[in-house]
Amino acid sequence: MVVDPLANEFATFTRALPRSAVDRPDDRVERAQVKVIYVVPSFASDLRRDTTGEISQAVFAANEFWARQNGGFGLRFDTFQGALDVGYMTFQSTKTDWYQTYFSALESGGAFRNGMSKFQAELARAGWWIGPTAASFQDSVVRDFKSGRLYLLVFEAPAGAYGRTGAGAGSCRSMIDAINDGIPIIGVATVGDDLRSCRALNDRGRYPATAAVNLQHQWVNNQGPFIDHIAQWMRVLPGCSYAQTPKDGEPVKIPGVLDESKAWEIRGGFLRDLAEPNDPLADSFMAGRWNDKAPRFDVRNDLYFHITSDKLASLGACNSDISRHPLWDDLPLDRESGRTLLRSSYDRPDDISGPQIHAVYVVRNGATDMMYDTSGDIERSLRHADEWLRRESGKGLRLDTFKGRIDVTYLPLPPQFELQTGKDCSKVPCPNDQDFYAHLRSIGRIDPDKTYMFFYSGGLRDFVLCGGAGQGKSVLLNLEVNGRFCSDAKWTESTSTALSWGLLALHELFHSLGAVCQSAPETDGYGHSSVVEDIMHARAKGNVRLDPSRRNYWGNVPPGCADLSQSPLFIQ
């Protein structure tokens, strides 16, 4: 029997609420939320989608997909007592007025009107935007945009002209307006030009995570307004003027064009042409030309999501990385999952200053993302290491934390990060911690005060090397070999065959700090201790101790050897 871990969350979120034309009290005080409103113009039939559960079920399903892309954390929606708070509004309009007032006429030469910009006034009249005067109305628009608040309007009306082209008028479930970078509104049309209803918003059910890839792609395609258009809008981060686009002004190959003489053009601003075929934002994806890989945002991590490669990676706060948008919820979608901090590809503000240990979860391109950064596993392993060290020495680790939780950076590797680029590896394939450190430094994400502990998924595969470190500012923990945990290690428990990941992390950290020197009385001559129960033994496992004689690397060490007890990475 398959157990649905989100059954309770789904039931709560989709619980039917009475119709309300006013905003109910928010469960969360954060202003950055998606506010969903069911809009019925006077010329349309009211199908009460706000009270039937149709809207809330479709929104939950889309948010579940968002969470799968971001370590288990979805977007923050406006809820009341846990249920999606779907607002209701109506306004007077004929179908002709609907097209002509808000959108461009389709005849030749018709001027494009920004439908969402125009519709802000209707929201203000209905009380969803505060401020009766033009000045205060505009102030509230700016305030909502800068805070990251987004309005998702489900229209009982056909789509207007799409974007600059005027194409798609009268169609179902389109975004109402394509030029909405500065307008915090996204519209979803639910009827066609004949005012007959499209298929229900929730008719596709929830994301088919275990189904064939082609079925996953079809599902995402049908959820376009909730997935594609929200991502497009989030690229303009609060406080930034416009979305950045990589390779602006450079030749770009047009997907699907086989004639080389016609396949290249200068592009700027259209990431749909640059995205990979299995990216939900790609034109090729929406046209059904996907590949045999599961749908995934920004496959190369160079366009708009967890940007860690190409020229946008080091641009700073306004690089259009939607992973930095405040709409992401800081609580996991599965409230009982034990997940820790929201996934982040950036170092968060530190609780302490000075030397400290910063954890990084590295995922090789194409490898399975095990979400160890958000699952709590890396945090638990480092807390376990800290507790062991305190018992052994009275000192603990200076761990990089944010609001008391261990700050783990997510680092998806770009495809061009070849396996054989490692330095000083005992055997290929690599890379190793030195490569990861150099990569972080190249994109401007290294703090010289910190030592980086890289937990690597999908790395060394044809031999067992669970960890490694030279003297310096980086440590490697190679989590998997051929898809299995390295040596069947556990996060917080050492066994008769392997150290826990927490203690192995300490073992490698000690190597990076200089243990065990050649003149240590109990060295094995190869940087390890000859004492079997020492954590620095080459085959350490089971119940280990910290330099039991206190004369090799912790305490009364020989001249010229590193006394790790004096390292600023450890604190009383």
- Band (273; pLDDT cuts 50, 70, 90): confident
Q: What is the pLDDT of residues 394-406, one digit of tens each?
A: 999 999 999 999 9
Closest CA to 208 of 221, 198, 199: 221
Q: Answer for the pair 359, 383: CB distance below 8 angstroms, yes or no.
A: no
- Band (461; pLDDT cuts 50, 70, 90): low
**Domains in the chain: boundaries:** 7-243, 340-571
Give 411's contacts (C-beta < 8 A, 6+ positions apart): 308, 345, 360, 361, 362, 363, 436, 439, 440, 454
Rounded Cα distance between 176 and 194, Å, is: 17
Query: According to CATH, what is the number of the domain 340-571?
Result: 3.40.390
pTM: 0.90
**Which residue did the predictor score with more confidence, 11 or 163?**
11
- pLDDT reported for residue 266: 59
**Which residue did the predictor score with more confidence, 208 or 162?**
208
- pLDDT reported for residue 144: 53
SS3 560: coil
SS3 219: helix
- Position 136 pLDDT exceeds 50: no
What rounded mean pLDDT belongs to the chain?
A: 86
- Band (360; pLDDT cuts 50, 70, 90): very high
Closest CA to 170 of 179, 178, 162: 162
Tokens of 147: 């805070």
Judged by average pLDDT, the poorest of 482-491, 492-501, 511-520, 538-547 is 482-491
Give 18's contacts (C-beta < 8 A, 6+ positions apart): 51
* The most confident of 178-187, 265-274, 377-386, by mean pLDDT: 377-386
Helices (H) and strands (E) in the chain, counts: 14, 19
Give 372's contacts (C-beta < 8 A, 6+ positions apart): 361, 378, 455, 457, 479
For residues 254-280, give the mean pLDDT. 73
Q: What is the 3-state secondary structure (H, E, C) of 304-332?
A: CCCCCCCCCCCCCCCCCCHHHCCCECCCC
- Position 108 pLDDT exceeds 90: no
